Chains A and B, each alone.
Chain A
Amino acid sequence: ELKVEQNPLFLSMQEGKNYTIYCNYSTTSDRLYWYRQDPGKSLESLFVLLSNGAVKQEGRLMASLDTKARLSTLHITAAVHDLSATYFCAVPQGGSEKLVFGKGTKLTVNP
């Protein structure tokens, strides 16, 4: 059974600081997704990582995937308040399109 673990689950950081969110998964997968969710809203797609070593960047966020270590990271650079949200990683189950989500990381960026 695929398990997806994120840490930390809660992250409070100051504006301007850097931090990394980790996503570990238990079975082989060559794809991983990162989403953002604002309170009361649905998911916004951030990154689709499709191969080992994939690295993608958008603004202050950068995501990477190491399929051998079964690990993805979401790195936040010089955080700003607008990044406050819950971030989820998700991994397809058994080569299917079914996604198993991590528990989410609630990020709060304080002025």
Chain B
Amino acid sequence: GAVVSQHPSRVICKSGTSVKIECRSLDFQATTMFWYRQFPKQSLMLMATSNEGSKATYEQGVEKDKFLINHASLTLSTLTVTSAHPEDSSFYICSASKSADTQYFGPGTRLTVL
């Protein structure tokens, strides 16, 4: 199967700082990537759809100025959590779309904001 990587896998930062998370499709090109957030013991919630070469589409209730998404190439999307606060602590998971029917999920990034 296709491989999607995320970096870093775990990050701890101070409140007010910004954190960048990378999502890479390693063996295929992905015009579309998705960013999800998962709070402890909860389900995955779609935050935004990242399209290569265009602006991301954010889900209702997700602040686009706080969660900056850049899809600079067909294999890389980045999520930057700006001015992070403790309530942003979560497990962030990306997925990359290889075809209309198939998404491959990254291993996730656990963000802890102190």
Contact = CB atoms under 8 A, between A and B. Distances in A.
A103 interface: yes
Contacts of B97: 97
A99 B46 contact: yes
Contacts of A88: 43-44
Please classify how large the interface on chain A is, using the bins under 10, 10 to 19, 20 to 34, 35 or more. Answer: 20 to 34
Nearest to B93: A42
A100 B34 CA distance: 12
Interface in A1-60: 31, 35, 40-45, 48, 50
B42 interface: yes
Interface in B19-62: 32, 34, 42-46, 49
B103 to A, nearest CB: 7
A48 B101 contact: yes
Interface of B: 1, 32, 34, 42-46, 49, 93, 97, 100-108, 110
Interface of A: 31, 35, 40-45, 48, 50, 88, 90, 97-104
Given A42-B93, A97-B34, 11 more contacts: A41-B108, A43-B44, A44-B105, A45-B104, A48-B101, A90-B44, A97-B100, A98-B34, A99-B44, A103-B43, A104-B43
